[in-house]
Amino acid sequence: MNWLVRLCCIGVALMVSACGDDSADKAGPTKVNITALPIEPTALAFYAKERGFFSREGIDARVTVINDPQQAPAAVLSGTAAFSSFSVSGLAVLKARDAPVRLVAAGALYAPRAPTTALVSAKGKRFRGAGELVGKTIAIDAPNTPAHIGLLRWLKRSGVDAGDVRLVEMPFPQMIGPLSRGRVDAAVVPEPFLTVALQRGATRIDHIFNAVCERDCLATVWMARRDVDPDLAARFRNAIQAAAAWANEEANEGASGAILAKYSELDPALFAALARTRFATRLMPELAQPWIDLYAEFDVLPSSFPAIDLTR
């Protein structure tokens, strides 16, 4: 259980207040802490807060931006946040380890026809395929994340072993500088940082998640502790789904870009240039199955299991 202790310690370090205080004022909105990475696949909490979808569900939301993906389960497990965005695969790993968490709402979709994550080369470098990356340094955000395991699947399909490349870890926002200066040879980057990297001289090598999802699949989800209040979870899901429907409307891209710029601290003009994320407007656990199967393939999970188990 050392992994659980470690996660809880990280959660305490976030220094956020109690995740939900139903007893403070029964007649007023429920105060809820939420954590999310400053990237569009996890931006539904930003949209739901800024556009009033949480308020409509009687939720007084405090959204805390985190940069380390492992802060998400840490915050939920330690009780410093009631809900957090997380990758589908990360939640699957937690469930396989019997962590007391569950899926409560869908998040971003990964669509092969409109990819929003790519493997890119550093400025001034050109790689035409996996074989040319042998011996090169590739940046990922952290071990066993979608960027990491998705990269391994892509390399494997081209006959390149994980040991044939050197992987280094850094948060997505911090990849831009090393790519621009050539301190790494390549990196797996999601939007909006993908567009920033391309604008600063990086070149797209391939959309590696197409090796995972042959059709639309879930990329991110929203999780809570298993013992979350069912009514609160339902209200949270309603707000997230309303935010998803709003964000999917092309007419709202300007407004959603401005919100995401606020939380990511990037130039609002950037969001007019990038491929925008599309979100699931209802919870369909089966769309998480490709990631569960992939993580079992690379022994991150002891075996695959039905995606519906994520909700239990």
Q: Pull the structure tokens for residue 159.
A: 């006959």
Question: pLDDT tens-digit profile of 214-233?
Answer: 999 999 999 999 999 999 99
Least confident of 17-21, 148-152, 281-285: 17-21
pLDDT value for 255: 95
Give residue 309's identity as a one-letter amino acid code: D
| Percent of residues, the chain, with pLDDT higher than 90 | 80
Question: pLDDT tens-digit profile of 170-225?
Answer: 988 899 999 999 999 999 998 888 999 999 999 999 999 999 999 999 999 999 99
The model's confidence at residue 26, banded by pLDDT at 50, 70 and 90, is low
pLDDT value for 27: 64
Q: Whole-angstrom Cα distance, residue 96 to residue 91?
A: 9
Chain Cα centroid distance, residue 3: 20
pLDDT higher than 50, residue 157: yes
- pTM given for the model: 0.85
Q: Give, as one character, the DSSP assignment of residue 123.
A: T
Cα dihedral across residues 61, 62, 63, 68: positive or negative: negative
Q: What mean pLDDT comes out for the span 108-128?
A: 94
Which residue segments constitute the domains of the chain, with CATH numbers given? Answer: 2-110+216-311 (3.40.190.10), 117-211 (3.40.190.10)
| Percent of residues, the chain, with pLDDT higher than 70 | 91
User: Over the Cα atoms of the chain, what is R_g?
Assistant: 19
Least confident of 55-64, 141-150, 285-294: 141-150
pLDDT higher than 70, residue 24: no
Strands 217-218 and 186-190: unpaired
**Cα separations in angstroms, 172 against 30, 98, 128, 197:** 32, 29, 23, 10
Calculate the average pLDDT of the chain: 91
pLDDT value for 32: 97
Q: Which residue has better confidence, 142 or 185?
A: 185
